Amino acid sequence: MDATPLRKAARRGLAEEASDRVRDAIFAGHFPPGAPLREVELAASLEVSRGSVREGLGLLAREGLVRGGWHRPTTVVEVTPADVEEVYSVRAALDRLAATTARAHASAADLTALDDLVSSLASEVDEGAAGPRLLALDIAFHDRVYDAAGNGRLTQAWHAVRSQVFLFQLQRVSLGHSQYRSRVVAEHRELAALIRDGDVAELDRVAADHVDSARRRLLAEL
């Protein structure tokens, strides 16, 4: 695989900076599922020590993004059907609670931000943006829903699976890009409208269907 240019790590916590830069590269599609992450190459690209890279990869392992072990190479996690079932079932429960709670607590600024993100998604689709760019806006939309819900523990639970959701969705997009592009704007526009002034039961159903549709599409592509 060609060497991937990475932004140089700033001198704060070098392990955290290394993990941030590698995570960004994974989410941009530079390191696909199963790709090796070699400490020597990453350290040279980031201009940090191998120890900082090793610690950074340990942080990503705790997020569920990479796997490795003693005398085993570190790689980006593979996306398996069993993992998909687990991650998306957790996400469905969290997203339903986040959406219905946001319906009760979202501020005018939150609602405007959701509408703006939908508009940005529509513009990017019209301009032919690549899948990782669309997915970044997709995840930003859901981040904002969790913020609007105003439940700190719920947001913590979301962040515990967020990196895996991003990686799995990235695999879904790469395997079925045209199908994703055709649905992403309409689905998020419907969610934004229901969070603004929709029926709570209908919002709960739509939030669940949004996740289940992604799960089924990814399993079909796998």
Whole-model pTM? 0.85
CATH tag, 81-221: 1.20.120.530
Bridge partners (DSSP) listed for residue 66: 76
Please state the domain extents for the chain: 14-76, 81-221
Cβ neighbours, 10 Å, residue 6: 18
Residue 127 has what DSSP assignment?
T
> What tokens appear for 183 in the block?
């649905």
Return per-residue pLDDT of the chain as tens, 222 residues: 455 567 665 555 788 999 999 999 999 889 988 899 999 999 999 999 999 999 999 999 999 899 986 778 899 999 999 999 999 999 999 999 999 999 999 999 999 999 999 999 999 999 999 889 999 999 999 999 999 999 999 999 999 999 999 999 999 998 888 889 999 999 999 999 999 999 999 999 999 999 999 999 999 988
| CATH class of the domain at 14-76 | mainly alpha
Are residues 115 and 128 in contact, defined by beta-carbon separation less than 8 angstroms? no
Residue 66 has what DSSP assignment?
E
